[in-house]
Amino acid sequence: MNQRSSNLLDEALGLDQSIEPWPLRGRIVAIEDQVETSGSFVLHHILKRSLSPNSSNVSILIAFSQPFSHYDRVLRKLGCNLVTQRDNNRFFFFDMLMLQCPGGDEGISPECGLIALYGKIYKTIVALPEVSSKNVTIIIDDLSLMEVAANGSSDYVLDFMHYCRTLTTEFDCSLIALNHEDIYSSADRPTFLLQMEYLADILIKAEPLATGLASDVHGQLTVLNKGMNYRQGSSRNKISNFHFKVKENVVECFYPGSQG
Amino acid sequence: MAESICRALRDGALEGEHAPALTIKDSIASPFGFHVFCHVLSQLSSFILAGKSQSGGLVVVSFSRSPSFYLELLKNKGIDVVSSDKRIQILDCYSDPLGWKDRLIEAGNFTALSHEASNSSTANVLKDVKHMDKLYNSIVERGKGLIGGGKNRFSVAIDSVDEMSRHASTSSVAGLLSNLRSHDQVSSIFWLLHSDLHEARVAAVLEYLSSMVTSLEPLHQPANGHRGDLENLSLIEHNLKKGKFHVRIKRRNGRVRVMSEEVHIEQSGISFTSLSSEGAINQGLVPKVQFSLELSEKERIDRANVVLPFEHQGNGKPIQIYDGRRSLADSKHERQVAATEKVQTNEDSGGGEIIYFRDSDDEMPDSDEDPDDDLDI
């Protein structure tokens, strides 16, 4: 039941075929949500999948929005114990709640701010044994709060994202980042959001239903899997759209109208 | 048409003219700019390696992809960069554009383990992309290293002007591109731009600098233009497979030629087809209704033959249009004219006529009576 209900999201992400090698390897996933529909459940879902017992994946969670205890509680409900995973060196938690980057360009020094964070991630990956260093998932929750920590400098965040991206080419890491779509809605040119969309190999949008609130549907997900393979100059764009319902210990995904 | 762009880049600069410059421009609704960039890049490199082009070397400035990506891209096209007699150089602005890695090593909390840089001998890591003059110098240096001195020329490919203009001001980016295209030894230059990341003026500045602009647009614009509207999901999906490919070529004398094609992104690769096939499909898309909206040839002729009541008959007579202000004497003459006209219409059997019956006596014949006569004004 558990397996079946999440199938649509897994399918859209390519996680249904096999978990090893990690299908998101070397790819960037951007999740965009809105105030009415939180997309954090997608993060939880990917985190749970990457920590599944029959894989050697390692996850690094960079948390700007919630403390460890929060994720621990949520993931426990989903059947995954973060404390054990942390003890087994499969889960690394970077608490960035109090991060405050020094202001101005000159204040960017290797001891603090996002450079230091990048150094920390790099060191963590390098220190991993060979098997797992090829299967690292970096999860950022979330980019808008990172921007706040960077004193609103979206360029600084984009620089950081670029360096994280070099990790995806250097170590085949996957990079998963949550961002909020509606906080950029007033800007006539949501550059930061667009930059992320250009970067992303997979774009996931969580939105409320166009028809308004419903008790048994919490929102809709659109997954755009670019699946681009520039090397051969080809591309397999796949777009899927479905409704979801976030339950206590599972997320149900179903096609519109198929829920009785 | 995509071929003619590649040919123009291949043929290079004329003596005493700027090098041809190409802007590849796309937006998020039709994000194939990078596909086109890769296409042009691989075409040009195979021209260069075959010795068919004016330029003897190519410098790829990689901002948005790792150098190994380009090595593999060209390898898949049958071009081995490493053994290609040093015709292609990749300037790596991707691995460490701001020197963070260096700074971390200096601070002592970082161990250098750069697979990327050590693996590829053709790549050179640039660690300070904020200074456009340094970037310019390194590009020219690399280019000269490829072709040596003298009259030989090289080409330049820049994979992301967006990244450049994030690190430097528009004017300095424009300055760099302008210097490059006017450099004696540059044969041709092309760059990629995501136009929606910038103000319109940035795109305009870059288009002024270039002799050719290709822009990619979605085939179907969303009806309300709202970003991320999920209602036209199939439309979005459609737009992710093909798009309109416009090319604007500026001739030396200032003449501008615009051409359009359709670009397809398929599993097998990128392909270009002419737009006419799409036009035919669009004609077939006229809504199918049960009644005919079209006229047959006979109906068209009959319609043309109907003489409208006040239409100028074109038979040399003065045009008689009653304007309600004639004197009584005139009206006598008018009656005669009306009679001759009637004879005429009878003779002309092919002509149509309008026959009018009054519905009832209630309906008064037209007169010049003031309808507001009874009002006490």
pLDDT at B279: 45
Structure tokens at B63: 């901002």
Structure tokens at A35: 């105030």
Contacts of residue B224 in chain A, CB cutoff 8 Å?
A: none
pLDDT at A108: 58
What mean pLDDT comes out for the span B243-263? Answer: 87
pLDDT at B125: 82
Buried b (16+ CB within 10 A) or exposed e, B342-370: eeeeeeeeeeeeeeeeeeeeeeeeeeeee
* Residues paired with A95 in a beta bridge: A63
Q: Which of A150-164, A177-191, B317-331, B337-351 has the lowest mean pLDDT?
A: B337-351
pLDDT over 90 (residue B268) = no
Asked if A137 and A58 count as a contact pair (C-beta separation under 8 A), the reply is yes
Of A11, A203, A243, A28, nearest to B228 (Cα)? A203
Cα Dmax for chain B: 114
pLDDT at A1: 38
**Shortest Cα–Cα distance, A79 to chain B (Å):** 33
Structure tokens at B244: 């309109």
Cα gap B42→A238, rounded to integer Å: 26
Asked if B36 and B263 count as a contact pair (C-beta separation under 8 A), the reply is yes
**Shortest Cα–Cα distance, B202 to chain A (Å):** 13
pLDDT in tens, B81-121: 777 667 888 889 998 888 888 888 887 766 655 544 444 44
Domain over A17-201 is classified CATH 3.40.50.300 = yes
Contacts of residue A188 in chain B, CB cutoff 8 Å?
A: none
**Shortest Cα–Cα distance, B273 to chain A (Å):** 16
pLDDT at A177: 95
Residue window 62-121, chain A: list those with CB within 8 Å of chain B: 109-111, 115-116, 118-119
Cβ-nearest to A239 among B104, B240, B267: B240
Subunit contact B194:A158, Cβ cutoff 8 A: no
Q: Identify residue B86 by its one-letter amino acid code.
A: K
Cβ-nearest to A237 among B98, B106, B240: B240
What mean pLDDT comes out for the span B170-199? Answer: 92
Angle between helices A191-199 and A154-170 (to 10 degrees): 0
Residue B371: asked if its preceding bond is cis (omega within 30°), the reply is no
What mean pLDDT comes out for the span B353-374? Answer: 69
Subunit contact A233:B35, Cβ cutoff 8 A: yes
pLDDT at B119: 46
Chain A with chain B: Cβ pairs closer than 8 A: 119
Subunit contact A194:B194, Cβ cutoff 8 A: yes
The number of beta carbons lying within 10 Å of the beta carbon of residue B95 is 22
pLDDT in tens, B8-39: 899 888 888 889 999 999 988 888 889 899 99
Q: Which of A85-94, B83-92, B138-147, B274-283 has the lowest mean pLDDT?
A: B274-283
Of B123, B158, B154, B135, nearest to B33 (Cα)? B158
Contacts of residue B72 in chain A, CB cutoff 8 Å?
A: 231
Q: Which CATH superfamily is domain B2-222+232-284 in?
A: P-loop containing nucleotide triphosphate hydrolases (3.40.50.300)
The number of beta carbons lying within 10 Å of the beta carbon of residue A40 is 19
Contacts of A49 (CB under 8 A, 6+ apart): A10, A15, A19
Structure tokens at B128: 């300070």
Burial class, A237, CB count within 10 angstroms (exposed 0-12 / middle 13-18 / buried 19+): middle
Chain A interface, mutation test: which of B110, B236, B242, most A Cβ atoms within 10 Å? B110
pLDDT at A134: 77
Cα gap B311→A128, rounded to integer Å: 92
* Antiparallel, parallel or unpaired: β B269-274 and B256-266: antiparallel
**Shortest Cα–Cα distance, B48 to chain A (Å):** 20
What is the band of B174 on the pLDDT scale with cuts at 50, 70, 90?
A: very high
pLDDT at B364: 64
Cα gap A173→B371, rounded to integer Å: 88
B268 shares contact with chain A (CB less than 8 Å) = yes
Cβ-nearest to A115 among B35, B103, B270: B103
Subunit contact B267:A236, Cβ cutoff 8 A: yes
pLDDT at B257: 87
Q: Which residue of B has its CA nearest to A199?
A: B64
Residue whose structure tokens are 């976030």: A246
What mean pLDDT comes out for the span B256-283? Answer: 72
A126 shares contact with chain B (CB less than 8 Å) = yes
**Shortest Cα–Cα distance, B237 to chain A (Å):** 6
pLDDT over 80 (residue B300) = yes
Using CA atoms of A55, A57, A62, A67 in order, give the dihedral in degrees to the nearest 10: 30
Subunit contact B31:A126, Cβ cutoff 8 A: no
pLDDT tens for chain A, residues 1 to 260: 344 445 788 888 878 777 667 888 888 999 999 998 899 999 999 999 888 888 888 999 999 999 999 999 999 998 899 999 999 889 999 998 888 777 655 555 666 788 889 989 998 998 888 777 778 999 999 899 999 888 888 888 999 999 999 999 888 889 999 999 888 887 777 889 999 999 999 999 998 887 777 788 888 898 888 865 554 444 567 888 888 988 888 888 888 877 75
**Shortest Cα–Cα distance, A82 to chain B (Å):** 27
Q: Where are the domains of chain B?
A: 2-222+232-284, 297-377
Q: Any idea what DSSP says for residue B30?
A: B
B34 shares contact with chain A (CB less than 8 Å) = yes
pLDDT at A241: 87
A153 shares contact with chain B (CB less than 8 Å) = no
Predicted ipTM of the assembly:
0.87
Q: Which of A224-228, B151-155, B173-177 has the lowest mean pLDDT?
A: A224-228
What mean pLDDT comes out for the span B213-229? Answer: 69
What is the band of B285 on the pLDDT scale with cuts at 50, 70, 90?
A: very low
Q: Which residue of B has its CA nearest to A171?
A: B115
pLDDT over 90 (residue B151) = no
Residue whose structure tokens are 């899927």: A240
Residue window 4-33, chain B: list those with CB within 8 Å of chain A: 28, 31
Structure tokens at B230: 């999920």
Cβ-nearest to A119 among B76, B109, B230: B109
pLDDT at B239: 78
B270 shares contact with chain A (CB less than 8 Å) = yes
B116 shares contact with chain A (CB less than 8 Å) = yes
Q: Any idea what DSSP says for residue A51?
A: T
pLDDT averaged over every residue in chain B = 78
